[in-house]
Structure 1
Amino acid sequence: MCMKKIFLIMPALLVCVAFTACKKLPLQEGYDYTPSHYDNKLNKSVVDFMKSRPDLFSGMLAAIDYVDTDPAYKDIKPLYAGTGNTFLLLTNNALTELETDTTSFFTRNKIANPADPSKPFSGTSWAQYDKKLVADLLRYHILKGRQDYSTITSKPVWLDTYLTSEANPLAKIYVYMKGDRDGFFYLNNFALFPHTWYLETRPRTPNLQATNAPVHVMDKYLIPPSKAQFDNNK
């Protein structure tokens, strides 16, 4: 009987102590909290954004200027000032980096070595490349229409680029949102792709909104699919 009383008294004491302790502590009436959210608005045009970050885009700006010297490619530079498209902006890592990034355009597109044809070397200037090759690279990284988080879903789609045409129907980009909580979207990440450097390619910084167009910043450049890759991923 005595043991039962002890067991009954102990919970009562604990409740009493807890209640007394709570009474001594005043309720917090307010707290300092500054709400914040990720702002993806650049408040500047695509061109001005690139110019504001030469550490990232000096290579791409130089490529645009390079092809603009040829009347055949005078249409490209104005595209970056226009509306109605989406721009995959390529960083120096994607294009011109030689020290640390073996997947850059300069690294992967070797220049013929006249002294020793067996030892081609990496490019160091856009002037070493054919203007059509550079123009095609730029056109392929401009998507037609608005392509951002408001339109991209988990259903894979082939999107037209400014390189897509009747003569070049495969110059499209395969895009889908990965079905997980991270919300990344991937480009040309499809079956039958042989280049391991290319897999799991996604924007470094997606869904930026310039005043004239959506922008996705890329640390890797993309290449059009083969016919087998395109047919296998319809």
Structure 2
Amino acid sequence: MKIRHITAGFCSLAAAMLLTGCELFGLDYQKAYDFDYEEGIPSNKVNMSTWDFIKSRPDLFSLLQEAIEYTGVESEFTQSGCTYLLPTNTAFNSETATDKSYFQEHQLTYFDDELGQEVAYAPITMTAYPKEQVKEFLLYHIVKGLYTHTNLPAEPTWYSTCASADTAMINMYILKDRNPNITFNNFDGHYKSEIKPRTSNLYSDEGSYIHVIESWMDRPTRSQLNMK
């Protein structure tokens, strides 16, 4: 009798977790996974390229799309064998102090003639920054290789990105807590700790993984990488 009760309880918990996962995949959290009857598991395929996926969700990625078109790196978002970390609009323009959005952390200045001094302001578009800066930012969010829940280690590990700087490494691992999940750039000195995906493990038509994040990634320094 006890075994029966435990089994029933476990099944109820599993059903609840599956429902939650389906809601999260929705990106609104997006639509639920389509069931793959051949594999016998929910499908994580978005049935389009990463670039088309970005364009299909302007409610989430309009600022990211604008940045990609501004720098002309559309082809970088159609590659196979990559892991894309896609920042949502929140990562760029949130005004919540604890979010530490890109625009708030990278304010620009102008000279106010009336005040007679420089005044700082948060931009509303990535086109306010130099193209090379934006390009490197975008390429830093493309990790070389396929990485998701099934093959990431439980210890912080550095991975190469498509950005050119010698410090352009992303730190990823599975953080084991009550809700284990991929954790990005969780190293001492990063502007924000324990960044986890809003939605993860999506798979594009070109054969790359997509993790949707509501924060942006900042590069480590040479000392943080233990580089001489």
What is the TM-score with the length of structure 1 in the denominator?
Answer: 0.72
1:112 to 91, 109, 112: 109
The AA in structure 2 aligned to 1:124 is: I
1:77 to 69, 74, 77: 74
The AA in structure 2 aligned to 1:105 is: Y
Q: Which residue of 1 aligns with 2:152?
A: 152
Q: Which residue of 2 aligns with 1:14?
A: none
| Contact 1:186–1:200 (8 Å) recurs in 2 | yes
2:212 to 207, 212, 217: 217
- Report how far residue 204 of structure 1 moved: 1.1
- Report how far residue 128 of structure 1 moved: 1.6
Q: Which runs of 4+ in 1 moved over 6 A?
A: none
| Contact 2:63–2:125 (8 Å) recurs in 1 | no
Q: Which residue of 2 aligns with 1:62?
A: 66
Residue 114 of structure 1 aligns to a residue in which SS?
strand
Q: Which residue of 2 aligns with 1:229?
A: 224
Residue 88 of structure 1 aligns to a residue in which SS?
strand
**How far apart are the structure 2 equivalents of 1:154 and 1:99?**
31
Q: 1:194 to 1:222 in 2, by over 3 A?
A: closer
- Report how far residue 194 of structure 1 moved: 5.8
Q: Which residue of 1 aligns with 2:189?
A: 193
| Contact 1:143–1:160 (8 Å) recurs in 2 | yes
**How far apart are the structure 1 equivalents of 2:136 and 2:177?**
33
Q: 1:110 to 1:40 in 2, by over 3 A?
A: same
- Are residue 94 (structure 1) and residue 124 (structure 2) matched? no
- Are residue 49 (structure 1) and residue 53 (structure 2) matched? yes
Q: Which residue of 2 aligns with 1:171?
A: 168
The AA in structure 1 aligned to 2:50 is: V
Residue 133 of structure 1 aligns to a residue in which SS?
helix
Which blocks of at least 5 consecutive residues in structure 2 are unaligned? 1-17, 19-34, 36-40
**Alpha carbon RMSD of aligned pairs, Å?**
2.4
- Report how far residue 140 of structure 1 moved: 0.4
Q: Which residue of 2 aligns with 1:138?
A: 138
The AA in structure 2 aligned to 1:82 is: Q
Q: Which residue of 2 aligns with 1:206?
A: 200
The CA deviation string for residues 65-103 of structure 1, in whole angstroms up to 9 with x for no partner, is: 1111xxxxxxx3201112121110110001134478752
Q: 1:143 to 1:117 in 2, by over 3 A?
A: farther
Q: 1:172 to 1:149 in 2, by over 3 A?
A: same
| Contact 2:67–2:127 (8 Å) recurs in 1 | no
What is the TM-score with the length of structure 2 in the denominator?
Answer: 0.74
| Contact 2:148–2:182 (8 Å) recurs in 1 | no
Flag the structure with larger Rg. 1
Q: Which residue of 2 aligns with 1:22?
A: none
The AA in structure 2 aligned to 1:207 is: N
Equivalent runs, 1:15-54 vs 2, <5 Å: 38-54=42-58
- Report how far residue 129 of structure 1 moved: 0.8
Q: 1:194 to 1:126 in 2, by over 3 A?
A: closer
**How far apart are the structure 2 equivalents of 1:90 and 1:160?**
18
The AA in structure 1 aligned to 2:84 is: F
The CA deviation string for residues 8-46 of structure 1, in whole angstroms up to 9 with x for no partner, is: xxxxxxxxxxxxxxxxxxxxxxxxxxx976542212211
The AA in structure 1 aligned to 2:160 is: D
- The count of residues paired between Structure 1 and Structure 2 equals 186
